[in-house]
Amino acid sequence: MTKNKNTSNALWGGRFDDAPSAIMQAINASIGVDKRMAAQDLAGSSAHAAMLAKCGIINASDERLIQDGLSQIGEEIKAGDFIFSAALEDIHMNIEARLGELIGEAAGRLHTARSRNDQVATDLRLWLRDALDEIDERLGAFQKVLVVLAEAQADTIMPGFTHLQSAQPVSFGHYMLAYVEMMDRDRGRFADARARLNECPLGAAALAGTAYRVDRQMTARALGFDRPMSNSLDAVSARDFALEFLSAASICAVHLSRLAEELVIWTSAGFAFVSLSDQFSTGSSIMPQKRNPDAAELVRAKTGRIVGDLNTLLVVMKGLPLAYSKDMQEDKEPVFDAYDALCLSLSAMTGMMADIKINRKALADAAGAAFSSATDLADWLVREANVPFRKAHHITGQIVKCAEKNGKTLSELSLTQMQAICPKIKEDVFAVLTPAASAASRISYGGTAPDNVKAQVKLWKEKLS
């Protein structure tokens, strides 16, 4: 193989005589991914330069040149005029090289008392902090849409399911509030992750700290971190903050996927509980009658992608000794991918639930099917006839069998038919056998009674305001 003489990387190639091969350049370059952190890299460099000047490590004149150069690079990137070079590997070296073109030798002083190892760890924490704030806003907006729907449908009765079999009647509003609760726990996980990641690696240098008398508190404050990280090895090698984000994102995506699955089921002809607008449905290339819930299906599918991103980084990190290894270059792509997929999924779910149409009749009919008030009959026997619950459960099972044999619902059986099984049953039992009465009776805290739902809606509106 022919060697390329005198073309080694100008920023790190003093130790080398030959340039890396094309294959080495291809596998080594990350600029296609990490250029997304340009704003964070510029912010970190600006804070670092200011600290170096304050500590007397560089002079004020050089700092002014550096700050002006960084500002110009920021404008170039914003305007789309900046040329990103794969030969310069990553966003850090691309910016440093351009800074050298703009201000000359002073640019070389910027990298004093830092390494790309602490630089990239700082950039990723800064980027992820902004990403978490964005996700929190999107989750809050989604919760508000669900609360509005819960308020409008508090009195709408539908079947609740276990094993996807009709179980007991519930309020549609109650159903929606279950997802509001899930999203709130997701917000809590993201908030916890944000709090833990908000420590500054800058100043840890390559792995051992620096011999310069730097002020790490100053750079941490300037970048909005709570404190500098207290162990230099940990500062450059920790990626648990990224794993924690991916874990929280995976759980959140699973929650969205469960609701997406409900929409796929509910919009099918066999259920017809709800319908999606044209904005979130597609047709078939061959079957003109079809309305496919593709947006919901794709939210469901993107969950696999996000969970895969978590698994990717877990596998990358699992065998790495301290401190930095080049393997960690692969940390950013799964983080960025999961963020993009989750944001898109949240937007899609928010849009779908904002204009969903509810088929109250189909919900009501289904709520009364499959003997869904059987538990209410058993409870009536306990409450009004003083029958032990296990015996009441057995009696109710016999009555359900009778209704099934006669092709009737429980409320369609005659009192005589019920009394043939249990003489203690009275006429007022029929008052608890309707789906609406069943739902209204669930008054315990957290229960599905419409009055409970309305009270919870009020609390959520206050919390989300």
Interhelix angle 116-152/91-103, nearest 10 degrees: 120
Q: Which of 21, 71, 277, 284 is catalytic?
A: 284
Tokens of 249: 């994102």
- How many other CB atoms sit within 10 Å of the CB of residue 335? 26
CA 213 to chain centre: 41
Are the beta carbons of 413 and 399 closer than 8 angstroms?
A: yes
Range list of H helices, 267-322: 294-317
Q: For residues 136 and 344, is the Cβ–Cβ distance under 8 A?
A: no
Closest CA to 110 of 122, 123, 92, 89: 92
Contact criterion met (CB below 8 Å) for 74 and 45: no
Catalytic residue among 163, 285, 444, 465: 163
Helix (H) or strand (E) holding 363: helix 360-367
Do the beta carbons of residue 261 and residue 300 sit within 8 Å? yes
In the numeric block, which tokens belong to residue 355?
């204009």
Helix (H) / strand (E) containing 161: strand 157-162
Q: How far is CA 399 from CA 159, 261, 416, 420, in A?
A: 20, 34, 11, 9
Q: Is the peptide bond before 323 cis (omega within 30 degrees of 0)?
A: yes
CB-based contact 128:242 (threshold 8 Å):
yes
Tokens of 24: 């080495």
Question: Residue 163 catalytic?
Answer: yes
386 sits in the region (left: phi over 0; alpha: psi -120 to 50; else beta) called: left
Q: How many residues does the chain have?
A: 465
**What's the burial of 387, exposed, middle or buried (CB within 10 Å: 0-12/13-18/19+)?**
buried
Query: H or E element: which one contains 453?
Result: helix 450-464
**What gap in Å lies between CA 116 and CA 111, rounded to an integer?**
9
Active site positions, annotated = 163, 284
